A = this chain, B = another copy of it.
Amino acid sequence: MKYSQATDYALHAMCYLVATAPDNPLSVQQLAEKLGVSQTYLSKMLTKLVKAGLIQSMSGANGGYRLRRNWEDISFLDVIHAIEGTASLFECGLDHGSECLIQQIVTEAEHQMEQYLKNKKIHELAGQFMGMD
């Protein structure tokens, strides 16, 4: 069980966006170069972030991606959910008649993790993030 590399890229891309002045957008080309990944591949993840309402895209010359108004509220969990989906990471496949107690416990554990990720906002990192290459 592992988070996909796409989540890794998406989180880094979001950090770059937050660390950048919000008026001039970053193109997928610029972001891809910073992250060391192909443009076409990265664009898939950025599109997911757009559809999740986390960022905004603009076509045409001098276009690219930039933040939306609520950017200060965007959490790690928001980005992870946008890429990985929101399905529970444990679903009991056995057919016992009643509710699965094991499922309940593992789901609660997952909830603990999600709470932490929900309270960590991307912009908390942006300042320290500027220094990285």
Contact = CB atoms under 8 A, between A and B. Distances in A.
A108 interface: yes
Given A94-B36, A102-B11, A109 B5 contact: no
Interface stretch (A44-52, A57-65, A111-119): A111-119
Interface string A85-99: 001011111111110
Contacts of A36: 94-95
Interface string A115-133: 1110010000100110111
Provide the main secondary structure of the chain A interface.
Answer: helix
Interface residues of A, number: 46
A55 interface: no
Given A98-B131, A113-B109, A8 B87 contact: no
A12 B106 contact: no
Given A98-B132, A101-B132, 19 more contacts: A1-B2, A1-B89, A2-B91, A3-B106, A5-B93, A8-B92, A8-B94, A11-B102, A11-B106, A12-B94, A36-B94, A36-B95, A76-B106, A97-B133, A105-B120, A109-B117, A112-B112, A112-B115, A112-B116
